[in-house]
Amino acid sequence: MRTQEQATFAPPFIRDIPPPAPPREEHRARLGLLVDLRTTPPGTVSFEPLPDHRLKIHAGAPVRGECRSTRFVYTRGDIDIFPAGKSDVWEEETANTSLIVRLAPALLRRAAEDMGMNPDRAGLAPRHHIRDARIEHIAWALESDREEGHPGGLLYTESLGMALAFHLLGRYPAPLEGTRGLSGAQLKQVTEYIEEHLDRNLSLVRLAGVAGMSESHFRALFKRSTGLPVHEYVVQRRVERARTLLLRGELPASQVALEAGFSHQSHMARCIRRVLGVTPRSLVRGARAR
């Protein structure tokens, strides 16, 4: 009997290539997001590979089927995730009504960049017969907006699409081939450059250039290597430099802030409090009391 644990493939869906999009849907297609409610007849269901990722949410009465001698039953709310480029064939005993959501790889890449992930690895793992209330909620919101003629506009569609992409990448990402971060030489070059230029306005573009890669790729690999986003790493190093200078007591706090790369003394105080849990004054007072 087919179970969720046994089914590791992504089942197909018949006639996945839709008719030409009407004018209102062309804008959604450019966003990399399309939604459609479809009913297919009983019999053989064939799934051809497409460049988009697809979600299939069962929306009708229960449907029995079979794939590779494994029998299964779709019930309302069952979700399948089809990664881009996958194909398959199976049989269904009765007509099947499903909500299909198509997401272009470019949409997942955008979400991956915002999440600090390597966009080149922004893929999905195949899933069958999963239940996920958030996917259902977003998918039906997209379908309702489409049925009503998109009263929410492109911004609404895009916000739902990005929320869906974030959720999918967070819960169902394609397995990584490895956990490689920056090479030892690259990490040494970047961290030394940061230490030497803490008092300057560091930029992601410049640091990525030191590592010899794109900004998005560098951001993902740096976090994998250090466990921290680039910005947070720089803040922590600035706080550590400010702490050292404050404890030496040779410079006024305003000058310490500039030497450590903070825009002003109040900015330094906020960061020290967030990272160390104390104010600069308490830090110095505590050291003197020892």
Domain boundaries, the chain: 23-171, 184-289
Contact residues for 184 (Cβ-Cβ < 8 A; gap 6+):
none
Q: Which fold has domain 23-171?
A: Jelly Rolls (2.60.120)
- Which candidate, 46, 57, 105, places its Cα nearest to that of 80? 57
Helix and strand element counts for the chain (H, E) = 11, 9
Q: Answer yes or no: same fold for 23-171 and 184-289.
A: no
pLDDT at residue 217, rounded to an integer: 86
pLDDT at residue 179, rounded to an integer: 53
pLDDT at residue 276, rounded to an integer: 84
- Both tokens of 221, joined, read 């690999």
Can you list the residues of the chain whose pLDDT is less than 70? 1-31, 176-179, 286-290
- Which candidate, 91, 62, 92, places its Cα nearest to that of 78? 62
Q: What is the pTM of this model?
A: 0.54
pLDDT at residue 18, rounded to an integer: 45
pLDDT at residue 46, rounded to an integer: 77
Q: 3-state DSSP: the chain helix, strand, coil percent, rounded to 5? A: 45, 20, 35
For residue range 39-56, what is the model confidence (pLDDT) as tens digits?
A: 889 998 877 778 889 999
Q: Which fold has domain 184-289?
A: Arc Repressor Mutant, subunit A (1.10.10)
DSSP 120: G
